[in-house]
Amino acid sequence: MDFDDTPDEAAFRARVRALLEEHAAELVHLDAGEEAADAGEQEQALRRTQRVLADAGLVGVSWAREHGGQSGTLAQQAIVNQELARARVPTLINHIGLGMCGPTVVAHGTPEQHERYLARLLRAEDVWCQLFSEPGSGSDLAALRTTAVRHGDEWVVNGQKVWTTLAHVADHGILLTRTDADRPKHAGLTMFIVDMHAPGVTVRPLKQLGGQSDFNEVFFDDVHVPDSDRLGEPGEGWRVALTTLLNERVAVGGGGNDLGLSVESLAALAAERVPQLSAERQVLARQALGRAAVAALANRYTGYRRYTAISKGGLPGPEASAGKLAGTTAAKLVADAGVRLLGDDAVYGRGPDGDDGRWQRNQAWLPGIAIAGGTNEVLRNIIGERVLGLPPEPREDKTAPFDGVRR
């Protein structure tokens, strides 16, 4: 494919850049200096940033107009992402909603659900989370135990989820539950939209390696969910969840996007730091930089090919697993090389030259992202079985009733 902008894309890029300059004072920027006084103020600032961008037509660019988007191309969405990174605008607060929950509601929701939820999602009036993993069923998602029991026009949910990104600020979530334990584990699931402020929902943030609390554990104690908030038919939750998972793997590195810090940021740091090293250490640094740059650029350009295929009508497939696996691997190489270039300064939150600790934070953040959307081991199984055609291991738990499987 041609990596240069077409005349139309160049004009679109210029318009995006002009819009970002026009609204710069209303947006949060990564290098804006002092952070908000507290987490609540920071959350409101990030919601405002997404709202301003949405009103300017820069959120959900590739979404259909009937769903609140711009009916643009994935190439245009990639241009917006590049220009947001160039302007140092942080990741949109509703990235889980935009990349995973929203596409699932679009694909499986009713017209009423589209009207009720999508416009507010795009403007971050409602932030969304994805309630999938559980303490005993992370990699084996279909073995989940959170139950939903129907009572008339409502379902009563009980159970626990964990590693739920943004649950502590979310207004809604997509929730995968077990509604029939007499069927095989993949066949007895049902997906719902859940109000995160409903009685019986308890969210507890989890402290991460980098000191932040992006992940959470969530408890459901007799939470009432109306049947009108069901996504898909009862028992068809796995089919609905696959839409979420495939989009998640594209969003988390599978689309060729940089996770955290770009290879260009690494090159800028290297230009400053490598000349300060001894000759022997310069050789080692260049080797690490070369490995990171090759991996990051290969992932980026392979992601562009994947976006090209999707923009021509294709759907995210099992090959997205390879992209996600490569994306997190490349990001880790970039972060590790950056921290090594910092040397002794890496032990401080802020270096003597004004470094703000972003390399250390990114390195500490990436192990969790490597788990999100499927661990490396799960992704390799998917690639082996569904891309390479290798035979799967025999597993009785796929065909036996869930209640009869030893756990």
- Report H helices in 87-223: 95-96, 102-108, 111-122
Place of tokens 């562009």: 304
DSSP string for residues in 285-320: HHHHHHHHHHHHHHHHHHHHHHHHHHHTT----THH
185 sits in which H/E element: none
* CB distance 171 to 117 below 8 Å: no
Residue 248: active-site member: yes
Per annotation, catalytic residue among 83, 134, 217, 248: 248
d(CA 363, CA 261): 10
Can you read off the two tokens belonging to residue 142?
Answer: 């279909």
99-117 in b/e form (b: 16+ CB < 10 A) is: bbbbbbbbebbeeebbebb
Candidates 264, 304, 301, 266; CA nearest to 286 is: 266
Candidates 96, 68, 69; CA nearest to 80 is: 69
Can you read off the two tokens belonging to residue 24?
Answer: 């710069």
* CB distance 117 to 172 below 8 Å: yes
d(CA 162, CA 159): 10
Catalytic residues: 248
